[in-house]
């Protein structure tokens, strides 16, 4: 398992890429394992973050 200092920057880069299709499953799976969560819960959280980011960007 990767440590969190390697996982989080990669996830941030994935989120900033804007395209949900480009989110790396391996990064999500690694984060889920590190946080002892199910990957589906991490995906829900990431989708919410992407929606929030899109909302903020469109309402600047």
C-beta separation of 5 from 34 below 8 A: no
Q: What is the pTM of this model?
A: 0.58
User: CA-CA distance, 5 to 15, in Å (whole number)?
Assistant: 16
Report the pLDDT averaged over residues 9-23.
66
C-beta separation of 42 from 32 below 8 A: yes
Sorting pLDDT into bands at 50, 70 and 90, what band is 13? confident
C-beta separation of 30 from 36 below 8 A: no
Sorting pLDDT into bands at 50, 70 and 90, what band is 5? low
Residue in 16, 10, 13, 52 with CA at minimum distance from that of residue 29: 10
Q: Is the dihedral of CA 12, 20, 45, 41 positive or negative?
A: negative
């Amino acid at each position: 398992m990767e440590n969190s200092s390697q996982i989080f920057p990669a996830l941030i880069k994935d989120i900033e890429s804007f395209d949900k299709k480009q989110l790396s499953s391996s990064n999500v799976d690694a984060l889920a394992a590190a946080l002892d969560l199910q990957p589906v819960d991490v995906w829900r959280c990431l989708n919410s973050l992407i929606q929030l980011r899109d909302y903020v960007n469109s309402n600047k």
